[in-house]
A and B are shown apart, each in its own frame.
Chain A
């Protein structure tokens, strides 16, 4: 070995992405390779940055809803729901029961659709090609259900602030029920192909291990965190929609490697399926949109009536024009700011919306805390010291969509 030490070797820097079949979008990793071992991994994001937060500040709350479809385009319905739940909390709107159940059904369908895309791409990256086509076949079913409910397949914008856009009909419910009956068999099909496959086990077990403390400290959420054994699920921690009225388990892993995260997501398939089933059975009647749901030209924000003393626009230029003015008590002069941070459990993890409202119909600040962004930041920790092939497995296991990461 002494001879090898004396050899002058050089690391090879490889630019993986933004155009690369396995980086799930436009993620760019600059890898320093020593042979096949990754010495250094530097992720670059932002290729898909569209300024959603800035755009949101200049649109009324209902108008910014379609922007959220474009965040995580694989599970757009969940993003819509997350946004609506957050705005409802801010505006204090109570959603009708039926709408809550429909949203829960949609949210879980989206979870299944997202995990299907995940297992498809993850398995394809590791080289199991057939799973990809099997799962795409089944995703079609869910997209058809979307289409039945709202006419769109990918960017749905079906939920509304205060409910959903339209009621679902009996045909949808029948198809959905049939889906829940068939789907467990389809999960078994995927598992037949990879679950006990020795090569799959070799490629996933013991790869990208994150301990529970570490995963929490990194801010990971969703199945990526639960694979490490932390049972943090917002559906249980802070139930929204109808999640407090259905029974389900939160699957967790033990080791926190790629395989455990894979198992977690496979179990979530079954749990989601059972949630949909329960919701279908319990689905109450009634309206699907709250009576006080805001329209597009939303004039007032959280305070239903605009606060009488202050016309909202005036104080700002005043304060800007005279910065040296003696500090007048800010509360009566400027608008009062109200803020909420509401997180929902989207398939990829915790999608948080943080709104600062100044009382007008537009958010003063809209912040999107996207799970993919945080998950992408953990890549160097997972990849450094592993092999090139594991980088691919690690990118797959954190389940990122760059539209959401870059916002």
Chain B
């Protein structure tokens, strides 16, 4: 079954949920609404002819100001049995920054979801142990959001050699320090 067919299958099964299907370089991504995520995921996991048993990757993306819905949670799925991959993207709006956890389907999503929470501030409902993982526990802000500054705003108190590096960087057009 070609990835596009799988996407059509999902669209046929959940017509109200699928918002968009895009193919790029042979990879198909399906953009869905987050409400019935678990159902769709269970369908993909359990259906014998799909059998997406392996969650290759789970991550977030921040489209601040570029798309209507700010966040997307991206699931890269692979069926080891059929060697077919598909990408599911669930929209997560900024004002309701929660999504269902898929840990019940793929237990390997555990740390991926914790990282996504850590980096984007997206809360995964049903995750048993949602804590920060890469950043310190008392860290403020979510580093991979687009509005998170790349450097701190210490200004004059900044470490001197670092300021010099910034000056050099500004002269070089290839760098752009935000």
Contacts and interface: CB of A to CB of B under 8 A. Distances in A.
A54 B67 contact: no
A352 B57 contact: yes
B174 A296 contact: yes
A358 B63 CA distance: 10
Given A340-B27, A350-B56, A354-B59, A320 B108 contact: no
Interface of A: 45-46, 49, 51, 53-54, 58, 60, 63, 89-90, 92, 213, 216-220, 230, 232, 237-238, 296-297, 315-317, 319-320, 323, 327, 330, 334-335, 337-341, 343, 350, 352, 354, 356, 358, 364-365, 367, 369, 373-374, 376-378, 406-407
Interface residues of B, number: 47
Contacts of A316: 65-66
8 contacts: A53-B144, A54-B144, A60-B174, A92-B25, A317-B65, A339-B24, A365-B144, A374-B111
Nearest to B173: A297
Nearest to B53: A216
A343 B56 CA distance: 9
B65 A217 contact: no
A283 B53 CA distance: 38
Nearest to B174: A297
A218 to B, nearest CB: 4
B106 A341 contact: no
A377 B56 contact: no
A58 B150 contact: yes
Given A58-B178, A297-B174, A219 B54 contact: yes
A354 B74 contact: yes
Q: Name the prevailing secondary structure of the B interface residues.
A: loop
A230 B80 CA distance: 9
Contacts of A317: 65
A51 B54 contact: no
Interface in B37-55: 53-55
A44 B165 CA distance: 33
Contact of A407 (B80, B108, B134, B173): B134
A49 B56 contact: no
B56 A341 contact: yes
Contacts of B136: 46
Given A218-B107, A341-B57, 4 more contacts: A218-B108, A316-B66, A369-B59, A377-B111
Q: List the 6 closest pairs (A to B, CB-CB), nearest first.
A: A219-B108, A320-B65, A46-B134, A377-B111, A369-B57, A319-B65
B134 A340 contact: no
B83 interface: yes
Given A219-B108, A335-B66, A374-B111, A367 B57 contact: yes
B25 A90 contact: yes
A164 B58 CA distance: 30
A367 B109 CA distance: 15
A110 B31 CA distance: 38
A356 B22 CA distance: 13
A381 B63 CA distance: 36
Contacts of B54: 216, 219, 232
Interface in B97-118: 106-112, 115
B135 A46 contact: yes
B25 A367 contact: no
Contacts of A335: 66
Contacts of B176: 58
B110 A338 contact: no
B57 A232 contact: no
A209 B135 CA distance: 31
A365 B109 CA distance: 20
A320 B135 contact: no
Nearest to A44: B133
Given A49-B134, A334-B67, A374-B108, A369 B56 contact: yes
A315 B62 CA distance: 16
B4 interface: no
A316 B147 CA distance: 12
A356 B63 CA distance: 10
A338 B22 CA distance: 9
B134 A354 contact: no
B68 A327 contact: yes
A350 B80 CA distance: 13
A354 B110 CA distance: 19
B57 A358 contact: no
A215 to B, nearest CB: 9
Contacts of A378: 108
A340 B76 contact: no
A340 B59 contact: no
A169 B102 CA distance: 51
A216 B74 CA distance: 19
A358 B66 contact: yes
A46 B134 CA distance: 4
B87 interface: yes
B2 to A, nearest CB: 15
Contact of A406 (B65, B87, B134): B134
Contacts of A297: 173-174
A365 B119 CA distance: 12
